[in-house]
Amino acid sequence: MEKKFKLTEEDVEILNSNKGLKAILSKEPYNLERAVRYVKYEKKLKKLQVELIRLQTWAINENERVIIIFEGRDAAGKGGAIRRATERMNPRHLRIIALPKPTEDEQTQWYFQRYVNQFPKAGEIVFFDRSWYNRAVVEPVNGFCTPEEYETFMRQVNEFERMITESGIRLVKIYMSISKREQAKRFEDIKNDPLKHWKMTSVDERAQELWDTYTAYKAKMFENTALSGLPWKVIRANKKTFARVAAINHILKSIPYDKKLEI
């Protein structure tokens, strides 16, 4: 038997507000519980975004360098989480990096070089929407690198990240995880929305078919990190709003910024 949603006084107050009414009317069929959840999410997100501005102000004042990388399954919501994290921050002191496939020149260079070229200067935060970990999962699964190149990466990556952090850069690693069913649903939504067609790539088209292979390489990546690398924060991202809040919370907890800083 379906459990009925019981409105509290707080819920009624939320629904009677402009934001509440907008949340109710934004999507059919109308759903009061969903509307209440969304308004509460928006309030929580705003508070977290204020803290992100404090973090950024601290980084600027202290000449800190910060790298935050987002990895995960295709359609796991990496881009959306980054947008929510950065939309209120000062764009002059942050960059969002989503590198295309390497050029012919880049293919002849040390694998990590094109990522190092994007590293932050003093007072800057850089978000990577996929990172050097392409070589840990996406590239071997899709045949974009040789077995030898993959093994070399796995031997070098922990030492590479140790050098990053020892140079004074703060590195945060987030992996967003979704179920196979949820990924299929999101792909279908993308295909049916003409404003999102550009998001679907040839790699995405094969993601469901290669699900188990992705899982195997993801497990190897985590095992390799566990040996001597910097830990991952794995976030269950089937619910986008929960995942965005969890990702921002992790960033704020990972970096010792001045929480009392006036902004």
Residue 203 CB partners (closer than 8 Å, separation 6+): 74, 138, 142
pTM (global) more than 0.85: yes
- Angstrom CA distances, 140 to 153, 188, 217, 224, 227, stand at 11, 25, 8, 15, 21
CB 14 within 8 A of CB 20: yes
Mapped onto helix, strand or coil, the DSSP state of residue 64 is coil
- Domains, the chain, in order of start with CATH, read 63-254 (3.40.50.300)
pLDDT in tens, 11-42: 666 666 766 656 665 666 666 777 777 888 99
Closest among 107, 218, 112, 224 to 160, alpha carbons compared: 112
Provide the pLDDT confidence category of residue 262 given band limits of 50, 70 and 90. confident
pLDDT given for residue 6 in this prediction: 72
Average pLDDT, the chain: 92
Q: Does the bond joining 29 to the residue before it have cis omega, within 30 degrees of 0? A: yes
In this prediction, residues 198-203 reach a mean pLDDT of: 92
Question: Which has more confidence, 31 or 193?
Answer: 193
Assign 167 a pLDDT band (cuts: 50, 70, 90).
Answer: very high
Judge whether residue 48 has pLDDT over 50.
yes
3-state secondary structure at position 249: helix
C-alpha distance from residue 171 to each of 64, 165, 221 (Å)? 11, 7, 17
Residue type, 210: L
**pLDDT (mean) for 210-220:** 98
